[in-house]
Structure 1
Amino acid sequence: MNTKFLFVIATGLVLSASNVNAQATDCATTASIAYEHAKVKNYAAAEEPLWKVRKECPTYSVATYQFGEKLLKDKLKKAAAGDKVAIAKEMIQLLKERFQYFPAKTKIGDMHSTMGQLMYDNKIGSKEDQFAELHKAWTEDKKNVDNPKNVYTYFSLLVDLHGEGKKELQEVFDLYDGVIEKIEDEESAKAKTIAELTDKEEAGTALSSKEKKSLKRSSIILSNYSKVKAGVNQKLGELADCKNLIPLYTGQFDDKKSDINWLKGAAGRMSAKECTEDPLFFKLVEALHKAEPSAKSAYYLGLLALKDKKTTTALDYFNQSAELETKSSDKAKVYFKIAETLRKKGSKGKARSYYRKALKYKPSMGVCHLRIASMIASSANACGTDVFSKRAVYWLAENYARRAGKVDPSLKSTANKTAANYKAKAPSKTDIFNNPGVTSVKIGCWIGETVRVPKL
């Protein structure tokens, strides 16, 4: 091989390496300009360099797609109606490119649920196409489908498709169970954070700025899920009423009576919709307990015993159910049922202990706080030793009522009205002034709690 030929090859390699280095430098420079503008939400200035990086250096950084999505969301929000479809399609394409170049840094659930929502909001494709995207997100990566709006849209589309004769009613019920479970899991997580921080506040400890942000964010997310839950139940509407459930399950019973999962679902829905008076409910419970004695079958036997006014037997079954139950939200529901039964019997102290057990397993069950508040308020005269301490009982009742609204936004209005009613019955500013040095009041009898005197 002659020297001249070797020189040409070497020169070519040097030039090639130089071009690669130059391109890398150009990518870094352009990306830096784009990212800096995007960080301060100056999307008009960021758009040209950002799309240049996206086109010429698609593997440079996942930040290109993260900022690109924010840019397009801003653009979509401000766009005229006629321009929205094109922008939505551009965002869908961007999400696909992100997955193509950065699959390890892309969450399947988040990506497909966002794409499905964009299609739904902007009427892109058919309902089946929109549903398919959300269904892929749900079935392949449910834990990362964390936008409440996406969860509602997914369920809503399925109900619509059922209404058009394209999906079976059983599919609607199955998805409903899954959606409610996810919502309640999310609610419990956020309500736990709120309860812990509320306890800290009520104990007189100031929250840090980070804790205040966490409290605010948890409250917003909890409120959103509360709205979605109400929307899902409203969307399900009459589909799950007794008039539809009873003929559906009656027709399926002979073929499904040995299917434990089906029996659990059918009995659960009939119980939730209070279809327990129909003979079919007894047949379902009997078959379920025979096939697999469990927390669910014990609970339903408890309901039947309660209906026959056999309270002691019912409570035995409910306690068996609670001990056997492994799912936190269902365990909470059983404890709530026990608490309700005891409260109606007048056993306030025992009822409170079971309401607290329910809250331990489902912190977002704000109704427990309202029930405790009501029992405390009704015991003011019995548990106070003098006029001041009797009226101080209402401060404690007020605290419980307000907490109900904090952990369950759907109860906020009721909780606030109830709390205001209790506050009006509590000691006034003058009463506090006439009892100098009293910073807290210990309340006796079954209540056995101490309430701090508030600064009015």
Structure 2
Amino acid sequence: MKTKFTFLFALLLVGFTGFAQQDEECMTKLSIFHEYVKAKNYDAAYEPWMAVRNKCPKFNNAIYIDGEKILEAKIEKAQGAEKSAFINDLVLLYEQRAENFPSKTPKGEYAAKACQLQYDNREILNKTDEELYNCFDAAYKLDKATFTNPKSLYTYFSLMVDLYDAKKKSAGELFDKYDDIVEKIDSEVENYSAKLNPLIEKEEAGTPLSGNEPAYKKYYESYLLNYDIISAGMDKKLGDRANCDNLIPLYEKDFEANKTNETWVRRAVAKMYEKDCTDSPLFVKLVNAQHELNPSANSAYYLGVLKDKEGKSSEAVKFYQQAINLETDNYKKSKLYYRVGDKFKKSGSFGQARNYFREALKLNPSNGRPYLAIAAMYAASANSCGDTPFNKRAVYWLAAQEAAKAGNVDATLKKASAQSVASYNAKAPQRSEIFSCGCSGKVINIGCWINGSVTVPNI
């Protein structure tokens, strides 16, 4: 037993940050509470843990790592005043960790955790929306870079909407906060997409992932899925509060004061475009102001939108291409390719649209939306691209194959991909028809803009 204790003690010294002059009592009790935590005996761990926490707060980061688990277990079991006390103590523990181990405590992350804990227990703590919003706002401003938790970002915005509805925040403050958090989410999506893309490319090349790569892939995909969920949640929460009837008067009123504020103008343009307020003369004024302030990929794209509105398609395409050429960031360039492709798709120029969608995929292969768009265009062309009734419906197999790719590369689209695949396969020739024509395994060439082929399934 003594040998086991000595070995464990040595491991602790190696595994955690300590000091040259260690306190013997703290060493012993840290070893004791750490073993209890490993065994999930949190009640037994509590007393020795508190002793070390109070006597040697800078002794070892295990005080805070294990302490969080101990207090979470206490909170789960407690009721009433005792529960409130443990919650408040966990908030205090986060603050103490930041004070005693700043290099191991990302400020925004832990400040947001403290706010989320209080929000999740707001009723028992009697916290108001205003108090909770101020908590999240302070955490966000303290260290925006490490305030990345999807749930907390959503909670932060949700509280802003609630305060706006209670007439404690203005429409301008609401839209500014929406734009700010959307940009934050987009930067995180770009970050995780950049990490995921090499793994997707490796798999698509037929090379199995190795080592820790499958775990990393799952980790990156989980974050992208969560950011996708909260983005949809934010849009739902914002709802009609950001319709054209509300946006146009607000931006009209604030335009003169902000027409040289590049961030304000850029966000106003993006919001009006997103909410389809592009028929307003104000949109024209904002786009021109943005281009004058900083000619960029974004401003060139919106100038193309204006030309499209005027019916000058060829001029619009020149601006769209200029936007793509100006953009140097692959993630943003991919989004531009997708946007332009979607415009060609809506106008019925499917061949050109597919070219843009494929370019978007090259730059950001973990985004499956271009695959779904291509699949939809194939399906829409089934009747015009096949030369016989059977071959016309065979186009749906091609659409299903393309839709399946979306779910393979993009975890956020697995459900939509599966639904599309099922829908397209249901419209394709069925087993009885394949049997009747005796064409199982036959390759069917598909003409017109698709210019591809599909193999009849074997039955």
Per the TM superposition, whether the score is higher than 0.5 is yes
Map 1:130-145 → 2, pairs under 5 A: 130-145=132-147
Q: Secondary structure at the match of 2:148?
A: coil
Corresponding residue number in structure 2 for 1:278? 280
| 165-174 vs 142-151, which moves further | 165-174
* Shift in CA distance, 348/411, structure 1 to aligned 2, threshold 3 Å: same
Q: What amino acid does structure 2 have at the position aligned with 1:305?
A: K
Corresponding residue number in structure 1 for 2:119? 120
Per-residue CA deviations over 1:64-98 (Å, capped at 9, x if unaligned) read: 10111122223334444664322210101111111
Corresponding residue number in structure 2 for 1:56? 55
Shift of 1:390: 8.2
Shift of 1:257: 2.8
1:163 to 141, 150, 165: 165
Corresponding residue number in structure 1 for 2:5? none
Separation of aligned partners in 2, 1:371 and 1:305:
24
Q: Secondary structure at the match of 1:301?
A: helix
Q: What amino acid does structure 2 have at the position aligned with 1:161?
A: L
Corresponding residue number in structure 2 for 1:107? 106
**5+ long unaligned stretches in structure 1:** 1-19
* Shift in CA distance, 73/404, structure 1 to aligned 2, threshold 3 Å: farther
* Shift in CA distance, 213/258, structure 1 to aligned 2, threshold 3 Å: closer
Q: Is the 8 A contact 1:295 1:325 kept in 2?
A: yes
Q: Secondary structure at the match of 2:40?
A: coil
Shift of 1:193: 5.5
Map 1:170-189 → 2, pairs under 5 A: 170-189=172-191
Q: What amino acid does structure 2 have at the position aligned with 1:113?
A: A
Corresponding residue number in structure 2 for 1:305? 307
Corresponding residue number in structure 1 for 2:87? 88
Q: Is the 8 A contact 1:88 1:118 kept in 2?
A: yes
Separation of aligned partners in 2, 1:206 and 1:307:
47
Shift of 1:368: 1.6
Separation of aligned partners in 2, 1:211 and 1:100:
35
* Shift in CA distance, 146/264, structure 1 to aligned 2, threshold 3 Å: closer
Q: Is the 8 A contact 1:348 1:375 kept in 2?
A: yes
Q: Secondary structure at the match of 2:143?
A: helix
Per-residue CA deviations over 1:244-274 (Å, capped at 9, x if unaligned) read: 1111111122333333332222222111111
Alignment of 1:36 with 2:38, yes or no, is no
Per-residue CA deviations over 1:300-355 (Å, capped at 9, x if unaligned) read: 22112112222111111111122223565553343223212333454434322311
2:422 to 394, 415, 420: 420
Q: Is the 8 A contact 2:200 2:409 kept in 1?
A: no
Per-residue CA deviations over 1:373-409 (Å, capped at 9, x if unaligned) read: 2234456688889999988765553343234345555
Per-residue CA deviations over 1:393-447 (Å, capped at 9, x if unaligned) read: 6555334323434555564433211111234466888969x88999x99988765
Q: Is the 8 A contact 1:148 1:228 kept in 2?
A: yes
Q: What amino acid does structure 1 have at the position aligned with 2:322?
A: Q
| 89-98 vs 415-424, which moves further | 415-424
| 357-366 vs 423-432, which moves further | 423-432
Alignment of 1:293 with 2:298, yes or no, is no
Backbone CA RMSD of aligned residues: 3.7
- Percent identical among aligned pairs is 43
Separation of aligned partners in 1, 2:312 and 2:20:
83
Q: What amino acid does structure 1 have at the position aligned with 2:304?
A: G
| 283-292 vs 178-187, which moves further | 283-292
Shift of 1:52: 1.9
Separation of aligned partners in 1, 2:23 and 2:453:
68
Separation of aligned partners in 2, 1:399 and 1:36:
53
* Shift in CA distance, 397/54, structure 1 to aligned 2, threshold 3 Å: same
Q: What amino acid does structure 1 have at the position aligned with 2:148?
A: D
Shift of 1:204: 5.1
Q: What amino acid does structure 1 have at the position aligned with 2:288?
A: E
Task: Report 1 or 2 for greater relative contact order, CA contacts < 8 Å, sequence distance ≥ 6.
Answer: 1
Separation of aligned partners in 1, 2:221 and 2:92:
34
- The size of the alignment, in residue pairs, is 436
Q: Is the 8 A contact 2:193 2:366 kept in 1?
A: yes
Taking structure 2 as the reference length, the TM-score comes to: 0.80
Separation of aligned partners in 2, 1:261 and 1:101:
38
Q: Is the 8 A contact 1:264 1:288 kept in 2?
A: yes
Q: What amino acid does structure 2 have at the position aligned with 1:56?
A: K
Corresponding residue number in structure 2 for 1:8? none
